[in-house]
Homo-oligomer: A and B are copies of this chain.
């Protein structure tokens, strides 16, 4: 167990989040993650809040939000409550995009499904 509030090394955060240590440092460098606290030896020590934020970032990425937009969101977050409306708008736009993307995937899935059935039938004919 750790000192007070359970601080994690970059290795541990990499394992916990599935991001590589390279990516964690990269995200911090570009400003996606605010400056992480350091131990006396300059090594990073991540708080649980940090890990929570990283998990949220992962979700944004997985929904297809480009890094520059995530950067904007992170910036707004750091600016405090007066940026709530803009962040809300970003999330709503993201929701629209994800819903549209899912609808598109659904359509494509139908075509794939159709082709699978067609191929199945053709195969049944060839090897009766």
Contact = CB atoms under 8 A, between A and B. Distances in A.
A108 interface: yes
Contact of A119 (B88, B94, B101, B112): B88
Contacts of A92: 116
A62 to B, nearest CB: 6
A87 interface: yes
B91 A102 contact: no
Interface residues of A, number: 32
Contacts of A62: 104-105, 108
Interface in A95-115: 95, 98-99, 101-102, 104-106, 108-109, 111-113, 115
23 contacts: A56-B111, A62-B104, A62-B105, A62-B108, A63-B105, A63-B108, A81-B122, A84-B123, A84-B126, A85-B123, A88-B119, A88-B120, A88-B123, A91-B115, A91-B116, A92-B116, A95-B109, A95-B112, A95-B113, A95-B116, A98-B105, A98-B108, A102-B106
Given A91-B116, A95-B109, A95-B113, 13 more contacts: A56-B111, A59-B108, A81-B126, A84-B123, A87-B119, A88-B116, A88-B119, A88-B120, A88-B123, A94-B112, A95-B112, A98-B109, A105-B105
